[in-house]
Amino acid sequence: MNEIVSTRTNPMIDPAIHIWGWEIPVYLFLGGLVAGMMMISGYFLFRGRQKEMATSCLTLPLLSVVLLSLGMFALFLDLAHRWYFWRMYMTFQPASPMSWGSWILLLVYPALLANALIRPPAWLTARIPALVTLSERIGTRSATVKFIGIANMLLGAMLGVYTGVLLSAFGARPLWNSSILGLLFLTSGLSSAAAFVHLVARDEFEQKLLAKADNAFLTAEIVIIGMFLIGLLSSTAVHIEAAQLLLSGPFAPVFWVFVIGLGIVIPLIVQSLAVNHKVAHTPVAPILVVLGGLILRFVIVQAGQVSHWTRLFPSH
């Protein structure tokens, strides 16, 4: 019997920290999704396939700008000293993932805008005719396009990894304390982005290609989750306890049903059957993948806040 009673009752801290509500998971999810989108569209730009991959290269960049802004808005909402958010941009703190993140986000915007400028949509050029000349100048120079593609892939990768590193840098929270988290969130971002294209692409070829890619990403994700958990389970007692939060603890139902089952395994099976013409393509699978990605962020963020180096018995 070990009774640890603490008299501390700080809001958002006790009995376990709950500093981050929905805003941070949503931000991390949108960040990861945009990261995946940037990598996919950047890849096609780099390969010069922007014409055939219409959704990936036309829709994604502009949509990314919107989603990223939503994500940043969520982040803004989370701040306790909201009107001081600009202070993040008054400094660069090399040891702070969050500082890196805010500056990466600042670089991501020009990359996305440049990407979008290659083929600006008609509704935009109708309003700002100057864009047409600008876009022609960029779009016709394959070296520039390639460069933009590389920049998108690179910044996308940084963004995706950052969403995970943000958490994994917190040694204080055993569940997050795994360097694999960056890779996991990047892969999950890629799979969500691919699923998204799969979902909205009109072109059957693009749709199928991205479904196949998604299957690869989902498979990778499963493996990475496995590595993540094994990593924790082979570490100290507190890390094992942290992993158990997902495996058998209070977060297990959501983790197994929504993240693993509905978010990865079922869509993977359905999509594999679909690409092999065993069943018809269904939007359900990619929708599940996207939702699974979102729930993954929620579960990791929330369970991470519960995971702890010491266990308390609150006094009231």
Partner 1 sequence: MNALSRRKFLKITGFTAGAAAAGTAALRATGVLQPPAPERGTRTVPTSCDICFWKCGAIAHVRDGELWKIEGNPLDPLSEGRLCPRGTGGIGAHFDPDRLRSPLMRKHLRGEEEWVEVTWDEAFDFIAKKMTAIKEQHGPEAVALFSHGIGGNFLKHMIKAYGSPNITAPSFAQCRGPRDVGFRLTFGEDVSSPERTDIRNARCLVLIGSHLGENMHNTQVQEFADAVGNGATVIVADPRFSIAASKAKYYLPVKPGTDIALLLAWMHVIVTEGLYDKEYVAAHGFGFEQFAASLAPFTPAWAYPETGIEPSVIEATAREMAAHKPSTLVHPGRHATWYGDDAQRSRAIALLNALLGSWGRKGGFYTPVSMDVPGYPYPEYPKSERGKVDNPGHKYPFAHETITTGIREATLTGQPYPVKGWWVYATNLIHALPNEAETIKAIQNLDLMVVVDVIPSEIAGWADVVLPESVYLERHDDLNVEWFREPFIALRQPVVPSPHEQKPNWWIAKSMAERLGLGAYFPWKDIEEYFQHRLTAAGLSYERLKKDGIIRGVKQPVYFAEGVTPTFPTPSGKIEFMSPQLQQAGFDPVPVYHRPPPAPPGSYRLLFGRSPVHSFSRTQSNRILSDMMPENEVWVNTDIARRHGLTHGQYVRLKNQDGVVSNRVRVKVTERIRPECVYIVHGFGHTARGLHHAAGKGASDAQLITRYATDPLMGGTAMNMNFVTFEPAEA
Partner 2 sequence: MARYAMAIDTVRCVGCMDCVAACKTENGVPEGYDRDWITYESTGQFPTLHMEIRSERCNHCDDPPCVGCCPCGASHIHERGGVVLVHHDKCSGCKACIAACPYDARFIHPDGYADKCTFCIHRVEAGKDPACVAVCPTHCMHFGDLEDPHSEVSRILASRNSHALVPAAGTKPQIFYLR
Closest by Cα among 14, 20, 24 to 310: 14
The Cα–Cα gap between 281 and 158 comes to 32
Residue 316 near which of partner 2, partner 1, none (CB within 5-8 Å, type-dependent): partner 1
CB of 98 to partner 2, least distance (A): 4
The contact mask relative to partner 1 for 2-41 (x = CB under 8 A, - = no) is -x---x-x--------------------------------
Instruction: Give residues with Cβ within 8 angstroms of 29, minimum separation 6.
Output: 71, 192, 293, 294, 296, 297
Residue 95 near which of partner 1, partner 2, none (CB within 5-8 Å, type-dependent): partner 2
Please report, as residue ranges, which positions from 210 to 269 form the binding site for partner 1 (by CB under 8 A): none
Q: Is 276 in the site for partner 1 (CB under 8 A)?
A: no
Size of the site for partner 1 (CB under 8 A): 8
Closer CB to partner 2, 120 or 182, in the complex: 182
The Cα–Cα gap between 102 and 170 comes to 17
Helix (H, G, I), strand (E, B) or coil at 313: strand
Sign of the alpha-carbon torsion through 44, 47, 48, 52: negative
The Cα–Cα gap between 200 and 196 comes to 6
Place of tokens 């100057």: 130
Question: Which range binds partner 2 by CB under 8 A, 7-15, 33-41, 104-112, 152-160?
Answer: 7-15
The Cα–Cα gap between 230 and 301 comes to 19
Residue 78 near which of partner 1, partner 2, none (CB within 5-8 Å, type-dependent): partner 2
Q: Is 316 in the site for partner 1 (CB under 8 A)?
A: yes
Closer CB to partner 1, 9 or 236, in the complex: 9
How would you classify residue 180: left for phi > 0, otherwise alpha for psi between -120 and 50, otherwise beta?
Answer: alpha
Q: For residue 314, give the H/E element and its range.
A: strand 313-314
Neighbouring-strand partners of residue 160: none
The Cα–Cα gap between 141 and 214 comes to 30
Residue 292 near which of partner 2, partner 1, none (CB within 5-8 Å, type-dependent): none
Residue 170 near which of partner 1, partner 2, none (CB within 5-8 Å, type-dependent): partner 2
Closest by Cα among 201, 183, 181 to 41: 201
Residue 314 near which of partner 2, partner 1, none (CB within 5-8 Å, type-dependent): partner 1
Question: Which range binds partner 2 by CB under 8 A, 111-119, 171-179, 262-270, 280-288?
Answer: 171-179
Closer CB to partner 1, 2 or 276, in the complex: 2
Structure tokens belonging to residue 265 = 């395994």
Amino acid found at 81: H
Size of the site for partner 2 (CB under 8 A): 47
Please report, as residue ranges, which positions from 269 to 298 form the binding site for partner 2 (by CB under 8 A): none
Residue 4 near which of partner 2, partner 1, none (CB within 5-8 Å, type-dependent): partner 2
Structure tokens belonging to residue 7 = 């008299």
Using a 10 angstrom Cβ sphere, with 0-12 exposed, 13-18 middle and 19 or more buried, the burial of residue 107 is middle
CB of 15 to partner 1, least distance (A): 9
Place of tokens 């694999």: 180
Q: Which residues bind partner 2 (CB under 8 A)?
A: 1-14, 17, 19-20, 78-82, 84-85, 87-88, 90-91, 93, 95-99, 101-102, 169-173, 236, 238, 305, 309-310, 312
Question: Which residues of the shown chain bind partner 1 in the complex (CB under 8 A)?
Answer: 1, 3, 7, 9, 313-316
